[in-house]
Structure formats: C-alpha cells, structure tokens
A = this chain, B = another copy of it.
Amino acid sequence: MHSLNFTSESSSHGITERDFTVGDVPGVLWSPASGAGRAPLILMGHGGGNHKKHPAMAGRARLLVNGCGFHVAVIDAPGHGDRPRSPYDEQEIAELFRARAAGEPEGPIVVRYNAHLAELAVPEWRATLDALQRLPQIGADGPVGYYGINMGTAIGVPFVAGEPRIAAAVFGQHWPEVLAGQASRITIPIEFDMQWDDEHIPRASGLALFDAFASKEKTLHANSGRHKELPRFEADSAVLFFARHFGRAVTAQI
C-alpha cells in the first residue's frame, strides 16, 4: 500500500495546490484554501499528450474548487507529464504522428495506445484514490466523482467500471471499440460530451459509446464543431453536474 507524500504546496486566489506522489506516480491536489471541513473529491483524467497541470485541468479545477468547494486531484498518465516515456510510448507516438502527416485515420492508433495506457493507469488511480481517502479532509466515505475527456475517458471508463467508490462521472470524445463493453458495466449517473463534426471520431461511434453506458441517468451533450472545439461552457456544465449529484450549491457565478 503506497502512501501519499506531499512534495510542494502553494496557494493563490483561494486555492491551495499541493503536488504529491503515490509510489512513482506524480499528482496534484487542488483544495479550497479556507476549507476546514470534509468535501467531495473529483478525480480528473487529462487528455493525450497533456499532463496533470495543463491549463484545461487547472481551469476545470478552479471552477470545481471555487464554485463548489470540492477537492480535485489529477495524476500524470503513464508516459505523460513528469513521467518517462517507454520505448513503446515512443513507437506509438511516432506512429500517430506518421498517420496524422499522411492523412490516415488516427482512431485505430489512439484506441490501441490508450487501451495500453489504461491497463497501466487503472491500478495507479486505484492506489491514488486509496491514498487520498486517508487524508482527513477527504475521508473514506465522502462522494467521489471522475471527470475525463479524450484519453481521460479511455482511462476513466475501465477505472470507473471496476471502482464502486465513484458515484458520478463526466466522460466524452472517444471511440466505442474498446470502451463500449466496459461502459456497459457502468450504472452511475454520467454526462457525456461529443463533437457533432468530429473529424477523428465518426458521429455514429460517439453516439454508440454514449448508448453503451448502462446508467439510468445519462446525458449526452453534442456540440457542433470539430474534435478540438469542445466549448468551454461544457466545463461549467460538468461543475453543475457534480454539484447536483453531490448536493453542493454553486456559489460562484458561472
């Protein structure tokens, strides 16, 4: 059992940011600077080629911490951020860039590579959640959510499918080939984002992955635009989704 070691701490604009490690895995925990009581925890998975403190992660964390008083944790995925790339990582990334340059479909490579990363990352997430729940301000019985788009979905779907501690999740923008079977074991409330004019993920594939979730309550948000044009207001919507399920009023104007 790995424990959580804090390696640095800073505060600004009402948010405390603490870097940590759990075993070899580096992560970041954002929390309300003023919060003393326990609060729900949102685990966030970053996108492919990004890292735990990418502006998309920090921006969503700000909304969740300032808006709802939640704790938010992100860890670097294998081969990402502060973690070394393996020869297999290098090979798949080279293959992805080659396909992109040649105008070939990215899907088969992303699906295969992300499935590999998910196999490594799921036990890392489980150990991270174990360690986070031993912190007094989080605790073992508080609500936990998961929020990850793109590669954050490729890792998050198998993680959530086998993790009864996650009570609500926001996913989106991935292919159904590997994930649909895992999604069919997920029954918690979900919000799912897709891009209506995604040049990489066919529309029918996005709809099929949403359809696969067994959740009684699930909401699809499909926006016009290409793969990288997911609107910023979907982050506001995700905050409202977690606030609704975890019983927190949104106190900031969003």
Residues in B neighbouring A210, C-beta threshold 8 A: 222
Contact indicator B240/A249 (Cβ below 8 Å):
no
Residues in B neighbouring A199, C-beta threshold 8 A: none
Question: A239 → chain B, closest Cβ, in Å?
Answer: 11
Asked if A7 is an interface residue, CB under 8 A from chain B, the answer is: no
Contact indicator A233/B244 (Cβ below 8 Å):
yes
Interface residues of A in 213-229 (CB under 8 A from B): 215-224
Contact indicator B233/A224 (Cβ below 8 Å):
no
Q: Which residue of B has the minimal Cβ distance to A249?
A: B253
B interface footprint on A12-48 (CB within 8 Å = 1, 0 otherwise): 0000000000000000000000000000000000000
Residues in B neighbouring A223, C-beta threshold 8 A: 217-220
B interface footprint on A173-190 (CB within 8 Å = 1, 0 otherwise): 000000000000000000
Asked if A251 is an interface residue, CB under 8 A from chain B, the answer is: yes
A21 to B210, CA, bound (A): 46
Asked if A196 is an interface residue, CB under 8 A from chain B, the answer is: yes
Q: Which residue of B has the minimal Cβ distance to A218?
A: B224
* Contacts from A to B (Cβ < 8 Å): 196, 207, 210-211, 215-224, 231, 233, 236-237, 240, 244, 249-251, 253-254
Query: Can you list 23 contacts pairing A with B, beta carbon distance less than 8 Å?
Result: A196-B211, A216-B224, A217-B223, A217-B224, A218-B224, A219-B221, A219-B222, A219-B223, A219-B224, A219-B231, A220-B221, A220-B223, A221-B221, A233-B240, A233-B244, A236-B240, A237-B237, A237-B240, A240-B240, A249-B253, A250-B253, A250-B254, A251-B253
